[in-house]
Amino acid sequence: MDVRQIIVERAVKEIQDGMYVNLGIGLPTLLANYIPTGMNVMLQSENGLLGIGPYPSEEQVDPDLINAGKETVTAVLGASYFDSAESFSMIRGGHIDLAILGGMEVSQEGDLANWMIPGKMVKGMGGAMDLVNGAKKVVVVMEHVNKYGESKVKQACTLPLTGKGVVHRLITELAVFDFNDGKMTLVEKSPHTTIEEIKEKTEASFIVHPNLLSEV
């Protein structure tokens, strides 16, 4: 199975019926296609749409209907449209139950870096800095290592921070980590890996949840 698909299929389990959810640009936006049929979820986008549906078929494409990543989307029954000021009022006012964001680096203390790489062109910081402070729960989804095989789960982030101590849960293709009181805990592992492999590919220090200790 594709690494990104593994991450998305695990991440969609974080979404519960009745939630208002913001999906970050990139990998998180793929979750819109995985929302279970019949689940009542309203996906919110910073550019002013509440009620994003799956990606459109060729016949459904409306060039005026886009998400924050400038991708064409569909809208579900009951969707609403508004300006970005209203959208950020929803976020800053604590009305978003769950934000699922992409990450470049996550530290063992739950710090997140996901908005820029120094020296690279930046179109804007987007809404991530507001989301990590305004959403009730922040879940980060990313590949465990970068294209050079280096861990993206760090002792300390080396890239500019989006927020300090803001990540509640991290999901990669290998593992699920929770962050509480500055401590990072391995709470799930992929059936396709071992705890030893996770340790080898994780720069950060973490503890193993008691439910997994039998597998150490």
Give the distance between the most distant pair of CA atoms in the chain: 53
Per the residue annotation, which of 14, 46, 105, 109 is the catalytic one? 46
46 classed as catalytic: yes
String of DSSP letters for 73-129: --EEEEEEE--HHHHHHHHHTT--SEEEEE-SEEETT--EE-S--TTS--S--TTHH
166 touches 110 (CB < 8 A) = yes
User: Could you tell me if 68 and 131 are in contact, meaning their C-beta atoms sit under 8 angstroms apart?
Assistant: no
Pairwise CA distance, residues 212 & 10, whole Å: 18
Q: How many CA atoms lie within 13 A of 46 on its CB side?
A: 22
Q: What angle do CA 19, 187, 181 make, to 5 degrees?
A: 80
Burial class (CB in 10 A: 0-12, 13-18, 19+), 139: buried
- Sign of torsion over alpha carbons 123, 128, 134, 136: positive
Active site residues: 46
